[in-house]
A and B are shown apart, each in its own frame.
Chain A
Amino acid sequence: MTDRSGQFLALLEAHQKIVFKVASVYCWDAAERDDLRQEITLQLWRAFPSYDPRRVFSTWMYRIALNVAISFARKAGLRRRTIAPLDDAAVDLPASASAREPDEQVGALYRCLEALDPLNRALLLMYLDERSYREIAEVLGISETNVATKISRLKQRLRSELAPAE
């Protein structure tokens, strides 16, 4: 194993969860999600020579993972032509040992994500993952003020959409 690949695999292992999170947010189907994770990893490997070690690895990883996921999801959507409406059964994730309630919550979360365009979905993902506004701004390529404004609007929008019907 070369130094470069060893360093890459070590960093990948330490931050692997980002790949899983991004794939889970952009791909509902288990087989496609597996393909997406491989695609993200491959693009990370290809881009690794240009990675500047003075920068935060997770930020760089998030950028690549999101860019690849958005392109991948669009291609998968084009292949399917129509995206079937999402129900709980369509969220093909391994079942947790916990009760049904969390599954319902995850289903509701997926319905929220599905209603968002790919960039707002990235914004919500990073916000829920408790990334700082600065990091979100750096990953997405917009200003911190813009991140704050968009998150506030997103909250308003989702609050009205999530509100239980009278």
Chain B
Amino acid sequence: MEFDELKSAWRALETKIDAEQALNAKVFTELKLERARSALRPIWWLLLTQLAIAVGAVVLLGAFLADYWQVPRFAVPAILLDITAVMLIVSTVGQLRVLSTIDYGQAVVTIQSMLTELAVRRAREVRWQWLLMLPLWIPLAIVVMQGIFGFDIYRVFGARWIAVNVVVGIALTPLVVWLARRFDHQDGIAKGVADDIAGRRLSDAMRRLDEIGAFRSEA
């Protein structure tokens, strides 16, 4: 097939499109438009939920710190969690701000570049969220158990147990990344999490960003 034949192929496709259009003459009515929900909206709800959880965490941690700020063994883990929650708020607000400026009526390269930068940022953030879970679960357990049940983990398990768990959590992080990079044969949620941790989603978004950059360049 020659390149010029693509034009006649396009005309053949247009005939098929005409047939399809005749079968679906009215895509939307006014009523349907007002009620329709976009398939591209979930990211908004995801980010707003994430923001609500992070703000809730900061409020609760603030209340916890007010009670225990003079007790370093409780205050330090709470401050660590608070810093993480504040970082999450900053990042989420930044992403929501970018999303709110996206106008699909702008040039394709501009919008795709904005969306892909957002995808890179999101993939990076989600990866860190997973990786921080391992070292942060102990501070979280200390604060939650003390704050909700009045259960002092230091007294029950001892400082050594806590220290060992923190060290093991940190040491396990590269192992989890290594395992995630090898986990590449199944579909579903587990595969999605493995992609996040291994950085496959991040590298895919970065590759797309490079692709857009190359397309934009005059060279």
Closest CB in chain A relative to B149 CB, distance in Å: 41
CA distance A46 to B104 in the complex (A): 10
Q: Is the CB–CB distance between B215 and A67 below 8 Å? A: no
CA distance A9 to B27 in the complex (A): 10
Q: For the side of the interface on A, what is the size category? A: 35 or more
Given contacts A72-B39, A109-B13, A128-B7, contact A47 B104 (CB under 8 A): yes
Q: Is the CB–CB distance between A43 and B38 below 8 Å? A: yes
Chain B stretch 15-47: residues in CB contact (< 8 A) with chain A? 15-21, 23-24, 27-30, 33, 36, 38-40
Q: Is the CB–CB distance between B107 and A47 below 8 Å? A: no
Q: Encode contact with B along A104-133: 1 for CB under 8 Å, 0 otherwise.
A: 011011001000011110100000110000
For residue A58, CB closer than 8 A to chain B, the reply is no
Q: Is the CB–CB distance between B7 and A94 below 8 Å? A: no
Chain A stretch 14-68: residues in CB contact (< 8 A) with chain B? 16-17, 19-21, 24, 34-35, 37-39, 41-43, 45-47, 50-51, 60, 63-64, 66-68
Q: Is the CB–CB distance between A71 and B40 below 8 Å? A: yes
For residue B6, CB closer than 8 A to chain A, the reply is yes
Q: Is the CB–CB distance between A119 and B112 below 8 Å? A: yes
Chain A stretch 146-166: residues in CB contact (< 8 A) with chain B? 146, 149-150, 155, 158-159, 162, 164
Q: Interface residues of A: mostly helix, strand, loop or mixed?
A: helix
For residue B191, CB closer than 8 A to chain A, the reply is yes
For residue B145, CB closer than 8 A to chain A, the reply is no
Chain B residues near A145 (CB-CB < 8 A): 218
Residue from B105, B106, B216 within 8 A of A51 (CB atoms): B105
Chain B residues near A60 (CB-CB < 8 A): 105
Chain B residues near A119 (CB-CB < 8 A): 108-109, 112, 211-212, 215
Chain B stretch 142-159: residues in CB contact (< 8 A) with chain A? none
Given contacts A63-B105, A138-B107, contact A20 B218 (CB under 8 A): no
B: residues with CB less than 8 A from A are 1-3, 5-10, 12-21, 23-24, 27-30, 33, 36, 38-40, 103-112, 115, 187, 191, 208, 211-212, 215-216, 218
Would you give 28 A-B contacts (Cβ < 8 Å), ordered by A? A1-B30, A17-B18, A20-B17, A20-B21, A24-B17, A37-B24, A37-B27, A39-B39, A41-B28, A42-B36, A45-B33, A60-B105, A63-B104, A63-B105, A63-B108, A67-B108, A74-B208, A75-B39, A93-B13, A103-B12, A105-B9, A108-B6, A119-B212, A120-B215, A128-B6, A128-B7, A141-B109, A141-B216
